[in-house]
Amino acid sequence: MGTQLTQSKIMQALDWGYEKAVVGVPGLDSAIELADDYLSQSGSTIDKANSLIRWQNTKAATSGFLSGLPGVLAMPVTVPANIASVIYVQLRMIAAIAHMGGHDVKDDRVKTLAYACLAGNEIKDVIKEVGIVVGTKLTTKAIESISTKTIVAINQKVGFRLLTKFGEKGAINIAKAVPIVGGLIGGGLDLLATNTIGNVARDTFIHS
């Protein structure tokens, strides 16, 4: 019964992961520190974001990095450790990209859009379903005009999609049966998904 996921538990894990990503934890850079490190490099902001995404796809997806997470992070009891780790790693990447684009990562509207980025290529469907009209990219003005009611609606839709996603990947069932590293690799943090999410975050938060 301990591995039973619900939409509310997914939302709790998102809030936890985002807070850890933004505030930072001992031994790991916060999203802002990570972003500032890349912003100090040469090239356009888009180039810097792409560099960050490439790093996330390689080093952050290695078993050595992931296996150390449970000891560093105080994992929430609401979701399996493998899912919590995936959420944390990917939200830190998204929040870093949002900061690189000049957005306040402590703003609830930015946080909600960061959650929506976890839906990958389905983000436009999520945004469209709540009545936000967007072109190829979300503008800063569109982000600033998101209402509290819309924030709640987006969060609910993202939570449902993630619950479905993790269920399909079998992460719920393997949570206790598989060691943490095997659970992470088998449960969701594949390179293709991380790369897609990174690209969506870049296109959402950084405007050339």
Tens-digit pLDDT string for the chain (208 aa): 345 678 888 888 899 999 999 998 888 889 999 999 999 999 999 999 999 998 887 765 565 566 667 666 676 667 777 777 778 888 999 999 999 999 999 999 899 989 999 888 888 788 778 877 655 556 566 677 788 888 888 888 888 888 887 765 544 443 333 334 444 444 445 566 788 899 999 988 987 6
pTM (2 d.p.): 0.82
- Residues 97 and 54: beta-carbon distance below 8 Å: no
Dihedral sign, CA of 76, 81, 82, 85? positive
Residue 33: what are its φ and ψ, rounded to 5°?
-65, -40
